[in-house]
A and B are shown apart, each in its own frame.
Chain A
Amino acid sequence: MSAVELISPLTDEERNEIEAEVAHLPDRESAAIDALMIVQKHRGWISDESLRAIAKFLDMSPATLDGIATFYNLIHRQPVGRNVVMVCDSVSCYVMGADSFAVKVQDHLGIKFGETTPDDCFTLLPIVCLGACDRAPTMLINEDLFGPVKEDELTEIFSRYS
């Protein structure tokens, strides 16, 4: 029987990036959100094993860190695909037809909100106002903002990430 692994050790790169944040903060715990974002950038999401590794590195309890991780919309505690598609469901986009737009995006990707395509290419999530309300309806793919998005542009947009 193989050993039980509670921790997925941080890489040197991750440790260095987290230490750079810790360096200008009063204590290690203050870097909790930065550390979660850094590890997520490298691993896509925060597994229990990653969470414990970060908690240990910052001298804090995994439970406290999990309370932080689950509080924030942009920290994924479940696996996501290679690309994360976020469709705005807040009021300005709503007024410009976000609900029907969201249906079209789901149909296009063949998945519902919260799901990942079978080839692991896209995870689809709803997101609050993206602050581009003059371009409604809006959508964020990874770090790229799109808006106003028309239905006939979806094939081309998603093909850039396939």
Chain B
Amino acid sequence: MSLQDTKPLIGRVQEVGGLVSLSDYKAGGGYTAAQKALKHMTPSEIIDLVREANLRGRGGAGFPTGVKWGFAKGEPQTPGYKYLVCNGDEMEPGTFKDRYLIEFNPHSLIEGMILGAYAIGAEKAYVFLRGEYHEPNRQLARAIAEAREKKYLGQSIFGSDFNLDLRIHLSGGRYICGEETALLNALEGKRGQPRYKPPFPPASGAWGRPTIVNNVETLCNVPAIIRNGAQWYHDLGLTEDAGTKIYGISGRVNKPGLWELPMGTPIRELVDVHAGGMRDGYKLRGILPGGASTDYLVEEHFDLPMDYKTIQDAGSRMGTGTMILMDDSICPVDMARNLQHFFAQESCGFCTPCREGLPWVEELLADIENGKGKDGDLELLDQNALYIGAPGNTFCLHATGAIEPLQSALEYFRDDFEHHIKHKSCPYREN
């Protein structure tokens, strides 16, 4: 039994102790899934298998990948007409899993993209990569060149009549480009502003053509699903959500990092066992479970399993599965200010509630933190959270995501906000 049997994403990285080269990847069974699929499977069979495995999008939304691929299937089959785009614009604060996959296991992404492109009938594919990801860019570019040389990319791959041209688009850098329609505009060389939906990208995406956008981790799961089957993948998960997940923890723990573990691993196990527990003298107060745009979880939630449904039922989202820990030395008001600074700055500026509302919320939070809070400020924040955050009040979900950590901070850490206003100071600064 190899590590890859339980850790299809980074088991091979651990086996070779670092970057998985092309020869390492092949020695571990790499590119056999693509070879098998292109020779012996129809695109529909691949889509059915991925759907049966219940692979859900790992970028944060958790949409079933097989279903998404199915949307593109009905579009014209003209060769070269469709696009597959990998969303590698990992800009959700606190998230660092896709960087790891691209940097250390780039061929698994390439093989996943060959499979995805074949399944949807795309002959052109892009990896939309963060501009700040210099080392992942170097590793991926080298891996793509290797794959081209071996004819895993290019014309008539594995002797089939399937062709694939895979390229990297390096982003100019803006959080909103992670939103898939903004990403498509950026890919086209435009400002990264979200598009009106419908039409959704599977019908009209990059340059107006049917386009499927998948996250890095999602695509990296596909080769192992093709190799080992849907049931194997399903059985990897501990709860009803299938497979493994790359979980991450940042904050004041003894061993911050990333771990590939069964989907549904409990939060407390992640913190206490894998991250080595909190550092001496610090107590865990709150968790942003899946990046900056997710609602806080608190003590009462720490025994929950980290999967899509459970965390959603608890009022938050598993998001990217990389958690940010707030310990008892951190001021919840100032942390909220830090978060809103990010969202205000990264608003694309297209619609009013987001463009005007988020900077205003940041200012209000800074005032409260600086001891200039007034009676009624909390009610104003509540009201703004409601108006700005409600889906449908803004063009895309940027503001909705921005408000998630704020509304939950106002709920769980309200005493801290009230203390700031009542005493006109921040108690965390006096310490």
Q: How far is the CA of A92 from the CA of B345 in the complex (A)?
A: 17
Q: How far is the CA of A99 from the CA of B409 in the complex (A)?
A: 20
Task: Please tell me which one of the listed residues B98, B189, B256, B327 contacts residue A33 in the complex, with CB atoms under 8 A apart.
Answer: B189
Which 8 A-B pairs rank lowest in CB-CB distance, beginning with the nearest?
A: A72-B172, A133-B250, A73-B173, A32-B189, A90-B93, A143-B134, A74-B173, A129-B93
Q: A90-B342, A91-B94, A95-B325 are known contacts. Are A30 and B288 too (CB-CB below 8 A)?
A: no
Write the chain A residue with the least CB distance to B193. A71
Q: How far is the CA of A134 from the CA of B276 in the complex (A)?
A: 13
Q: Which residues of B contact A136 (CB under 8 A)?
A: 250, 256
**B377 located at the interface, meaning its Cβ lies under 8 Å from any Cβ of chain A in the complex:** no
A90-126 toward B: CB 8 Å interface, digit per residue (1/0)? 1110111000000000000000000000000000000
Question: Which residues in B have some Cβ–Cβ distance to A below 8 Å?
Answer: 90-96, 98-99, 130-135, 165, 167, 169-175, 186, 188-192, 207, 248-252, 256-258, 288, 292, 322, 324-327, 330, 335, 338-339, 341-342, 345-346, 348
Q: Which residues of A contact B94 (CB under 8 A)?
A: 90-92, 129, 133
With a 10 A CB-CB cut-off, give which of A72, A132, A135, A145 has the most chain B CB atoms: A72
**A131 located at the interface, meaning its Cβ lies under 8 Å from any Cβ of chain B in the complex:** yes
Cross-chain contact B91 with A128 (CB below 8 angstroms): yes
Cross-chain contact B95 with A131 (CB below 8 angstroms): yes
Write the chain B residue with the least CB distance to A36. B172
Q: Which residues of B contact A73 (CB under 8 A)?
A: 131, 172-174
Q: How far is the CA of A133 from the CA of B257 in the complex (A)?
A: 8
Q: Which residues of B contact A134 (CB under 8 A)?
A: 96, 248-250, 256-258
Cross-chain contact A67 with B335 (CB below 8 angstroms): no
Write the chain B residue with the least CB distance to A26. B207
Q: Which residues of B contact A92 (CB under 8 A)?
A: 93-94, 250-251, 324
28 A-B interface contacts by CB (under 8 A) = A33-B171, A33-B189, A37-B170, A67-B191, A68-B189, A68-B190, A71-B191, A72-B192, A74-B172, A89-B341, A91-B338, A94-B338, A95-B250, A95-B251, A96-B250, A96-B251, A127-B132, A128-B345, A129-B93, A129-B342, A133-B96, A133-B324, A134-B96, A134-B257, A140-B132, A143-B135, A144-B134, A145-B134
Cross-chain contact A30 with B189 (CB below 8 angstroms): yes
Cross-chain contact B189 with A129 (CB below 8 angstroms): no
Cross-chain contact B172 with A130 (CB below 8 angstroms): no
**A53 located at the interface, meaning its Cβ lies under 8 Å from any Cβ of chain B in the complex:** no
Write the chain A residue with the least CB distance to B329. A95
A29-72 toward B: CB 8 Å interface, digit per residue (1/0)? 11111101100000000000000000000000000000110011
**A75 located at the interface, meaning its Cβ lies under 8 Å from any Cβ of chain B in the complex:** yes
Nearest-CB distance from A152 to chain B (Å)?
20
Cross-chain contact A75 with B93 (CB below 8 angstroms): no
**A160 located at the interface, meaning its Cβ lies under 8 Å from any Cβ of chain B in the complex:** no
Q: How far is the CA of A95 from the CA of B331 in the complex (A)?
A: 10
Write the chain A residue with the least CB distance to B325. A95
Task: Please tell me which one of the listed residues A24, A30, A131, A144 contacts residue B99 in the complex, with CB atoms under 8 A apart.
Answer: A131
With a 10 A CB-CB cut-off, give which of B133, B190, B249, B325 has the most chain A CB atoms: B190
Nearest-CB distance from A65 to chain B (Å)?
9
Cross-chain contact A131 with B133 (CB below 8 angstroms): yes
Cross-chain contact A128 with B131 (CB below 8 angstroms): no
Cross-chain contact A75 with B172 (CB below 8 angstroms): yes
Task: Please tell me which one of the listed residues B91, B135, B252, B258 contacts residue A129 in the complex, with CB atoms under 8 A apart.
Answer: B91
Q: Which residues of A contact B292 (CB under 8 A)?
A: 90-91, 129
Write the chain B residue with the least CB distance to A140. B132
Nearest-CB distance from B158 to chain A (Å)?
23
Q: How far is the CA of A74 from the CA of B133 in the complex (A)?
A: 12
Task: Please tell me which one of the listed residues B258, B330, B341 contacts residue A95 in the complex, with CB atoms under 8 A apart.
Answer: B330
Q: How far is the CA of A118 from the CA of B94 in the complex (A)?
A: 34
Q: How far is the CA of A92 from the CA of B170 in the complex (A)?
A: 24
- Known: A36-B172, A95-B324; 11 extra A-B contacts, CB below 8 A, are A30-B188, A34-B170, A68-B172, A74-B171, A91-B335, A91-B339, A92-B94, A95-B335, A129-B92, A132-B96, A144-B134
Q: Which residues of A contact B339 (CB under 8 A)?
A: 91
Cross-chain contact B324 with A91 (CB below 8 angstroms): yes
Cross-chain contact A131 with B186 (CB below 8 angstroms): no
Q: Which residues of A contact B190 (CB under 8 A)?
A: 32, 68
Task: Please tell me which one of the listed residues B90, B96, B131 contacts residue A37 in the complex, with CB atoms under 8 A apart.
Answer: B131
Task: Please tell me which one of the listed residues A25, A68, A131, A135 contacts residue B90 in the complex, with CB atoms under 8 A apart.
Answer: A131
Q: How far is the CA of A110 from the CA of B130 in the complex (A)?
A: 30
Cross-chain contact A24 with B324 (CB below 8 angstroms): no
Nearest-CB distance from A57 to chain B (Å)?
13
With a 10 A CB-CB cut-off, give which of B91, B99, B189 has the most chain A CB atoms: B189
Write the chain B residue with the least CB distance to A30. B189
Q: Which residues of A contact B342 (CB under 8 A)?
A: 89-91, 128-129
Q: How far is the CA of A136 from the CA of B133 in the complex (A)?
A: 16
